Amino acid sequence: MEKRISITDLRAMKKRGEKIVMITAYDYPSARLVQEAGVPVILVGDSLGMVVLGYDSTIPVTMDEMLHHVKAVVRGTSRTHVVADMPFMSYQASAEDALRNAGRLLKEGGAQSVKLEGGARVAETVRRLVEAGIPVMGHLGLTPQSVHQLGGYKVQGKTPAAAVKLLNDAMALQEAGAYAIVLETVPAQVAEAITAKLSVPTIGIGAGSHCDGQVQVFHDLLGLFTDFVPKHAKRYAEAGPTIVEAVRAYAAEVRAGKFPTDRESFLLDERVFREASHLA
C-alpha cells in the first residue's frame, strides 16, 4: 500500500526550499489525473460550490456536499495528501462544532487534513483541532466565506495596518499549530514577508512567487470554468472548447446515423441470428 504525503513531508519541503504544488480538485477522475501528474497535495475546496454546483458563492456549500466530494477525491488517490475545506458555519459557531465536523471530514471523508479560514479569531479553534489530532491548514487574505463582510473579492493587506494584521494572524495560526497557511489575493511583497517570518509553509493563490507553494483550481488551469477568469489564474490548456467540439461531433454523427458503427456494436454470428427465427 502506497504511503500518502504527510504534513511532515510538506514541512520538510519548505526547509529544503522545494516548492509545494497544490491543486484544487473535486472528483474521482480529476484526482486521478492530478496524482498521475505528480502533484503532492489536492485541496477539495468549498469553491466546488461555484465551480461544479453552480452556486454564486461558497456560502451555500454544506457538510454533506463537502463529504460527498472529499470521498470521491480520496478514492481517486493513493499518494496525494488530501485537504478538505471546512464549509461556512461548520466551525464558526463553536469549537465543539469545529471538532465534530473536522472529525467527520477525516473519519468519514478520508481526508488527511482540513482547512479553515481566519486568523487570530479562529486560533483557539485551530488549537483544539490540532490537540485532538486533526492537522489544520490555515487560510488568510481573501477569505471567500467572508466575502460579504469584505465587500467583494478584493486584494487584502494593501495598507500598512492591514499587512501587519495579516502577519499577526499568520503568527497566531502557526502558534496554534497550523501546519501550513494559504495566502489568497495578497500583495506579493506582503506574502514574501510573511513567508520569511513563518516556519510553516505558505501556499499562495494570487500572492506572488515567493510563497513556499502555489495552488490553483483544476478547472481554471484547463479552461473548463468560464463564468469568470481570476487574474491569478493561468490557462495551461483550453479544454473547454475542445470538449464542446467533441460533443458537437458526436451529436452530428448521431443525427446523421453515422454513430454507432459495427465497431461500437455487439453482433451475433449470422447463423445464431438466423436460428432465432422470431427475431428474423
Q: Based on the fold, state whether residues 129 and 201 are members of the same structural domain.
A: yes
* Four-point Cα dihedral 139, 142, 148, 153, nearest 10: -150
- Distance, in Å, from the CA atom of 55 to the CA atom of 213, rounded to the nearest integer, reads 28
> Which amino acid would we find at residue 163?
A
Q: Based on the fold, state whether residues 228 and 272 are members of the same structural domain.
A: no
Q: Based on the fold, state whether residues 205 and 80 are members of the same structural domain.
A: yes
Provide mean pLDDT across the span 196-201: 98
Residue 181 predicted with pLDDT over 90: yes
Q: Based on the fold, state whether residues 127 and 26 are members of the same structural domain.
A: yes
DSSP state letter for 208: -
Contact 14, 200 (CB under 8 A): yes
Q: Based on the fold, state whether residues 270 and 159 are members of the same structural domain.
A: no
Q: Based on the fold, state whether residues 124 and 233 are members of the same structural domain.
A: yes
pLDDT of residue 274: 80
Task: Give the pLDDT band (50/70/90) at residue 225.
Answer: confident
Q: Based on the fold, state whether residues 268 and 142 are members of the same structural domain.
A: no
Task: Give the pLDDT band (50/70/90) at residue 112.
Answer: very high
Q: Based on the fold, state whether residues 143 and 258 are members of the same structural domain.
A: no
For residue 201, cis peptide bond before it (omega within 30 degrees of 0): no
DSSP-assigned beta bridge partners for residue 181:
138, 202
pLDDT of residue 227: 80
Contact 40, 229 (CB under 8 A): no
Q: Based on the fold, state whether residues 61 and 172 are members of the same structural domain.
A: yes
Residues whose CB is less than 8 angstroms from the CB of residue 149 and which lie 6 or more positions away in sequence, other chains included:
none
Q: Based on the fold, state whether residues 137 and 270 are members of the same structural domain.
A: no
- Distance, in Å, from the CA atom of 61 to the CA atom of 50, rounded to the nearest integer, reads 9
Shortest CA distance to 109 belongs to which of 79, 128, 130, 83? 83
Residue 151 predicted with pLDDT over 60: no
Grid coordinates given for 267: 453482433
pLDDT of residue 96: 96
Residue 279 predicted with pLDDT over 70: no
pLDDT of residue 273: 80
CATH of the domain at 15: 3.20.20.60
Exposed / middle / buried, residue 9 (Cβ in 10 Å: 0-12, 13-18, 19+): middle
Residue 278 predicted with pLDDT over 90: no
Q: Identify whether 184 is a catalytic site residue.
A: yes
Percent of the chain with pLDDT over 90: 85
Give whichever of 132-146, 212-226, 262-276 has the largest mean pLDDT: 212-226
> Does residue 2 form part of some domain?
no
Q: Based on the fold, state whether residues 232 and 248 are members of the same structural domain.
A: no
> Does residue 166 form part of some domain?
yes
Q: Based on the fold, state whether residues 248 and 151 are members of the same structural domain.
A: no
Grid coordinates given for 174: 502557526
Provide mean pLDDT across the span 69-87: 98
pLDDT of residue 272: 82
Residue in 184, 245, 270, 275 annotated catalytic: 184
Shortest CA distance to 43 belongs to which of 28, 60, 24, 70? 24
Contact 169, 190 (CB under 8 A): no
Domain coverage including residue 195: 7-237
